[in-house]
Every structure is written in structure tokens, then in C-alpha cells.
Structure 1
Amino acid sequence: MELTSIFLFFFINQILSEEVENSDIKEEKEGMLSNLIANITEDTRTEEDKLRDKEEKAKQNAIFEEKIKERYKAIVWEQGDQRQKLVRSELISAGEAQPPSDKYVSLGVIVCNVTIKGMVGGIMRLFAKLIRSIYTYSKGTPIHIVVITDKKSFSIVHSIVVNTIGRFLSETAIASGLNRGLPPWNVLSVFPKTWIEFVELDSITKDNREIINMMKEEYSLNKEDAIDFPISPGPDGTPRVVTLSPKYSQDLFYIGPFYGYEFKKINRLIVVDADVVVKEDLIYLHKYFDEMNEDEIMGVTMDTAGYYSKISKFLDKQSVQLNSTYFRTDDQVKKKGLNTGVVLYNLEKIRNSKLYKELLVYDKIKDIKTEIGLKSETVQIDFQLGDQDYFNLLMWRNPQLFKALPCEWNVQDSPVMVEVKHECKAKAKIHHKHGDIHDNEVFD
């Protein structure tokens, strides 16, 4: 999941009571307070103005939706279209999704809300780029792609997938004819075996509605409109403003914890953000499933943008000051925090994990901030990044459930400058460029 200039890092309303503060904690408090939500410009609109703006926004979104539908028309199959062998043409439930065999690498990606203006403008362009990169770097590994989408987005997303594959097949056919002497109609013989399915988002959320709604309150700040507020100047002294997107109030950012119980016919699932580019055959990433120990049910790459660094530092100091252990790990890698742009979900182990089942209940999820020392009468840290924030706290609370993956499988390129970064020195096997997904050039 991305960490860009559209997201608030976090803010603390009150760090510690005066009884437990010392100079180090006060110093940390001052650093954290630089991101206080109080810096946001106050909304001075009247109720009439707000209503007028809301109506105008709805009008503009209707126009945007029609343009999107016109640009990405539904696919009309022609007789003998080779793409029909690769792409499922209907929207199914998560429980129905299934790879053709265990030789396929199952890859999940979420592409929703594409008809909503201002939500994730560049997602379609980047999604097509992701699909293309998978095939460009494939060495022939059979690939099962699971696209999670909503009903309004389905025909558009389906069109993008089919047309992207079509272009790649055409190019492959030409290359095959030139380099291998194969006729164009035989292109599928050199194209990796592929099966693509489209899963309806509601099939995941419907049985988990109560928990999802609660998580939205815990891990999302603004519900409807984007909010701007100033942050520290850039390295050259240029004033900067952060915009908080309201997108983390959407269901799609809270479904990760439930994959194991919803994807009943898939045992291993790699889930990536739509704004990543794959630069290696995915079989090499898939092999890390076999390296997980008995307790590990998820493989994650750590955050390299420094998003969680201040919270981690604060917890370390608080643990010393209060003589309490909030981290359940001494692993300095895991203390950096994780990024869910690339996650390996061992769904079979998740379904069989007694511990995970006990943790995935309403009260346990709601209380995790308190258990880890980030929510009390004197401490209140708010988060913005949906289930990434939850998984991060879960990793700090129960580190044995998570395997840390090499950083090259999620090399993050963020425009946000923070004090502490954990840069990856290795050559990227998956490149995750934050920010491009909010480029509104959607009609290219």
C-alpha cells in the first residue's frame, strides 16, 4: 500500500501525561506534533455552500463516469478470439475463484471505484502497466490473476485486462514470427498459461461488515472530502502541502484480514498494489511460501519510506519509561513497520491457524491499539492507511505470524520526505512508485 503526499503519516493528540514525561519523550512528542491535524485549514463554508459543492461534485462525477464508460467500452467477443481462453467473462464470488492447478501462481490485485472522479485517477493506466510487466518478465510460469473489483467498475476493468493482453499477444505474435518462425495463430504456445478471474468486492465484505465498519473508524481519518494541510518545507525551502485522500474510507482497504476465509479454493495468494511494476518472474517470489516456518502465515516487505519510524521510536522509549513491553519483538527489521504493496498470504495456513482465528474478532481488532500502547487516556495515535496499519500493529503484537521478505520485492519510491528512511540497496524485482496512482491522466 502506498505512502505518498496524499496521506497523513499520523498525528498524536496527546502523547503522555505529565507524570511520565521526560526530556526524551518531550523531544519525541514535539517531533510528532509537527503533523497535527490542527494544521489543516479550517472549513469556513456555510451549509448552503457545502450542499452546493456536493451537488456540483455529484454532477461532475456523473460526467466523469460517462466519459470513463465511453473510453473503456465493454468487450464484445468475436468468434475465435484467443483471449476468451485466458479471461473469465463474468464477475464471481471470492469463494468461486480457483487456479486451474497448483502449478499456477495466484496473484491478486484490487481495482475498484474507477468511475469515481478524484478517487484514484491513474489506477487504470497503472493497472494496465502492471499486467504488461507480468508478461514482459515472465519466463513461462503459469499465472492465475484474481482481480477484485466492484460491479460498477467490472466492465471497465475487464476491458482493460482483455485489451492489454490483446496488445501483448499481438506483439508476441509478431516477435514469434520474426524470431522463432511460428505463425501468428500459434502465439499461445509461447505465451505463459494464464487464467484471469474477476471477484466481486461485496462477496468479501458482506459477511465482515461489522468489523470493517469498526476498522474504518480506527484506520481512516476523513470520510468524504480531500483535506489539505501544510507540512515542513522541502529541501530547497519550497512550501509543501499534503492532501489527505478520502479513499481509505472505502471497503477495499479493509479486506486483507479476511482473504483466508473468503478465498476458500486458493491456498497461496500473492497480493500486490495496482501501482507496482513486476520486474522478475513471480515464481521466484512464490518460492518464499516454502521458506515460511510453522507459525508464519504471511510474508511481507518492510516499509522503506520511514512511515512508521517515529511510532516505532516512540514505543521503544515508552517501553523503557513505563517499564512495559509494547513491542513483542526485538527484530529491528520488523520494527521498521511493513508495507502491504506486496504480501504473500498463505491462505491454507491462515485457515488452519488457531491463533489468527482468535485474533480476527471484533474486540481483539478494536483493542489492538490499546494492547500495543498507542491508545489510552493519555495517548492517542491516529492512523490513515486502512488494513496496512492494522497488519503493522498485528506484526508488532504477534511477530511470529509474519515472515520478512527481502526488500527488493517491494522497492518503494516515495515523493514524501521524512526524517528516517530505510532505503533498499538491492535491484528492484518489484518497483512500487507511490504517487503515480493519483495522476488524473486517465484517458491515455
Structure 2
Amino acid sequence: MASGGPGGGQGGAAGKVRRGVPCALGRARLGSLRSHQCVLLLAGLLAVCAFYYMGSCRETFSSATRRLKESRAGGTSGPAPAPASDAPLAPEAKAKPADGLSAGAAELDYHVLMMFTKADRSPALQAKGRTALCSLLSLAKLDEQEVLNVHFVSEEASKEIAKNLLRELLPGVTFKYKVIFHDVGVLTEKLFPVVEAMQKHFSAGSGTYYGDSIFFLSIAMHQIMPKEISRIIQLDLDLKHKTNIRELFEEFDNFPAGAVIGIAREMQPVYRHTFWQFRRENPQTRVGDPPPDGLPGFNSGVMLLNLDAMRQSALYQQLLEPAALQQLTEKYRFQGHLGDQDFFTVVGMEHPELFHVLDCTWNRQLCTWWRDHGYGDVFDAYFRCEGHVRIFHGNCNTPIPED
């Protein structure tokens, strides 16, 4: 979590200890009562740190970024020192050698990331976050050596709301966990140079390009996250989990050679509509057609990002270049507005080998908007999904079943 504590509470508590009960003075006239009060205040301060930092009073990602920048500016060429850790709830988690992360380590990290921004302005978003977190945490079952790392991308106000949610939901969790907050402003600053060129193809308008950069986070996640994180699952907030999140991580083992991302198909004729010009010029194309034989595009509500594979794939790196992207969007006559989802969809038309297609039950989308807007005759071919649903996705504010 971000340093500084909730609302500056740590600084205030420490100040009271220094001014009201100067423990280090050792004056006999304070008596045993004030010594006892000092101990209680210090214990309370440590408890606040232990709770709000969810077992990881560590250097944050944002502060680490600043430290690395300062280190580079100072001309240091070696690796940066490891971040400090004060009284962690769980031991520092490492990955098993089989996972391709840190050889010789005893523990295995699982990483999930959620965007949680502007929640202070939206009670509906807060309710979605509660549903998503409650269902994920209540059904998660991990082995003793496994650690769930929950990443939030937030600004200050939303971070405080997330902390309150976690205060309600984390008690009773039986597995090891860590919670990490990433400042949305810091990430946007890092993302903008990488994704600026693609935003003209996949954003709704040109007036908010800088702010829109955060909606392309998954595309450049391999450049943003520390090298120690090799795999991460990015999840939308409008989800309800129906099974153990650990089972979703097992899908990484099903990636074919060369695949870098696991993602489910779009379950509406969104891209049948968006690719209309290309489809008219190429009447035999499968682009935009429904499954199982068509290419309906992707939905970014649930994404498995193999960061190591993204870092190592020369093809994926090439596709991030403005010239390559321009060529693709011109070929497919594409202009979108859905951020990373559009990028992965266009890339998937040309390079399906980069993707592991998740079963629809891992992202059972519920939105039916396109059924009532010109595509009722073909809608069911896209919307059909058989099997036990493992994650419901209430996209376009569609209610999620209670049971």
C-alpha cells in the first residue's frame, strides 16, 4: 500500500507520542502510568500499520519508481536495492522454480489487478467493487505456501474507499495475502509515451488522450510491473466470481507456444459492427462473425497477462510500434473506442497465435445492448455460452444473478 498511512494518521499518532509521552527521556516523575500509556500508543501505531498495509509495510510501486529514476539519474549501473519490509503479515512471497519466477524460493505469488478509480463519485462503482472483492476473496482457496497479491490502481480518494472495503472483507480470510496500491497518476505518466500513438485508433475522442492512457494499461503491463512479476490477471470491477481464483491461474498452463495473453471472446456483435467496412469489402471474411468458426473479437473483462512472454516476444514488441499499428488499422478499416480491448481484437485478427482463448464461462458477459440495436437476428449466435459459469460479467451495468 502507499506510504504515509490512512489520512496521515500515522504521522499524527507519532507526533502525539513525541510531545505527550516522551518515552526516551526516562524521567522517573512520569511514573508507571505514563509509561504504560506510551506502550499502548506505540502498540496502536504498529497495529494501524499492520492493518492498513495488509501485511506489507513496504516501499510502494510509486515510490520504487521514483527511487529507480533517481538512481538512474545518479549514474548507478547496478540493480537497485531491495525495498524495505517492516513486520510483514506473511513472509516475503517468492515463486516456485516451476513457475519460471525465482528459482529456489519456497512460496508462490499469484497477482491480480483491478482498476478502482473515481469511486468516491459513484456509489454504483463502490457496490460493484464490493461484489467483485467479496466473491473473489470468499471463494479463494490457496495452499499454505501460496500468496494472493491484490493490486489496486487508484487515486487517493478511491484508495481510502478500497481500504474500507478491505477492512470489512479481509477478516476471516485464511490464506496469505498482500495488498498493493498503485497511483493512477504515476502509472498514466509512465503509460502515455508507450500508448499515445494507439489512442487515436482506440479512444472515443482526442480531448482526453492523456487520461485515457490508463485504459491501455494491460497492453504495456510488462513494461510497467517489476520484472519479478511474471504473470498477472487483470479483472474488471463489474464481475462476480463463482469459483476459486486459483483455477483461473491454472489457465496459464494451457497457453500454446507463443501466446502472451489469455482472453475470452466478445459475446455481442460489437465487432461485426465495428468492422463493417472491412466486411463489406471482404464478403468471405470470418472477421466479426460469431463463434465457433468466426472471429468475434475479444472482451477485456478478464485477462491473463503472461508478462515474461510479453517481454520476450519480438512479435508483440513490434506490434506496439506506431507504424505496425497504423498498418493493421488501415488494413482492417478499424476505428474503435474501447481501449485495450480494441487493440487485442485487431491484433488477434492478424496474429491469433499470440492469444489463448478462454472459455466463455470464465467471462460470461451479460450485456444485451446490441440485441436491441440492429442485431437481434444474429445476437444469440454471439451470446450463447454453455457450461458452468465461473465468472459473471455484468457489463453495460447489467444486473448479475444473485445465485
TM-score normalised over the length of structure 2: 0.67
Question: How many corresponding residue pairs?
Answer: 310
Match in the other structure for 2:213 = 251
Q: Is structure 2 residue 254 aligned with structure 1 residue 291? A: yes
**Contact map agreement 1:383 1:389 (CA 8 A) in 2:** yes
Determine which of 331, 344, 357 is the counterpart of 1:391: 344
Greater gyration radius: 2
Residue aligning to 2:129: 127
Question: C-alpha distance in 1, partners of 2:53/2:191?
Answer: 34
2:138 paired residue among 116, 136, 139: 136
Structure 1 residues 307 and 94: alpha-carbon distance in aligned structure 2, compared to 1, 3 A threshold = farther
CA shift at 1:408, angstroms? Answer: 0.7
Q: Determine the C-alpha separation between the residues in 2 that align with 1:256 and 1:146.
A: 13
Distance in 2 (alpha carbons) for counterparts of 1:412 and 1:326: 22
Deviation, 1:296, is 0.5
Q: Structure 2 residue aligned with 1:92, among 56, 61, 79?
A: 61
5+ residue gaps, structure 2:
1-5, 11-43, 66-81, 84-91, 96-107
Partner of residue 196 from structure 2, selected from 210, 213, 229: 213
2: CA distance, partners of 1:253 / 1:281: 27
Q: 1:348 to 1:331 in 2, by over 3 A?
A: farther
Match of 1:357 in 2: 317
Task: Tell me, yes or no, if the aligned pair for 1:169 and 1:191 is still in contact at 8 Å.
Answer: no
Contact 2:264 2:363 in 1 (8 A): yes
Is residue 275–residue 433 contact of structure 1 (8 Å, CA) maintained in 2? yes
Which residue pairs with 1:268 in the alignment? 231
Q: Work out whether 1:101 is the aligned partner of 2:106.
A: no
1:113 to 1:362, Cα distance in 2 relative to 1, 3 A: farther
Q: C-alpha displacement at 1:138, in angstroms?
A: 1.2
Q: Which amino acid aligns with 2:262?
A: G
Shift of 1:334: 6.3
Between the aligned partners of 2:361 and 2:393, the Cα distance in structure 1 is: 10
Distance 1:169 1:343, change over 3 A: closer
| More helix, by proportion | 2
Query: Would you say the 8 A contact 1:135–1:192 is kept in 2?
Result: no
1:416-435 equivalences in 2 (<5 Å) = 416-418=369-371, 419=375, 420=379, 421-435=382-396
**Mean CA deviation greater in 76-85 or 425-434:** 76-85
| Counterpart residue identity of residue 348, structure 1 | D
For 1:7-18, list aligned pairs within 5 A.
none
Q: Secondary structure at the match of 1:255?
A: helix
Q: Displacement, 1:399?
A: 0.8
Q: CA deviation at 1:347?
A: 0.1
Asked if 1:341 corresponds to 2:301, the answer is yes
CA distance 1:423–1:313, change in 2 (3 Å):
farther
Q: Find the counterpart in structure 1 of residue 266 from structure 2.
A: 303
User: Would the aligned equivalents of 1:123 and 1:437 in 2 still touch at CA under 8 Å?
Assistant: no
Higher relative contact order (CA 8 A, sep 6+): 1
Q: Structure 1 unaligned runs (5+)?
A: 1-72, 173-189, 225-245, 375-380, 439-444
Q: Residues 92 and 211 of structure 1: is their aligned pair in 2 closer, same or farther, counting only changes over 3 Å?
A: closer
Percent of pairs with identical residues = 19
Given that 1:88 and 1:198 are in contact with CA atoms closer than 8 Å, whether structure 2 keeps it comes out as: no
Q: Which moved more, 1:404-413 or 1:249-258?
A: 249-258
Q: Secondary structure at the match of 1:301?
A: strand
CA contact (8 A) 1:280 1:429 kept: yes
TM-score of the two chains, using structure 1 as the length reference: 0.61
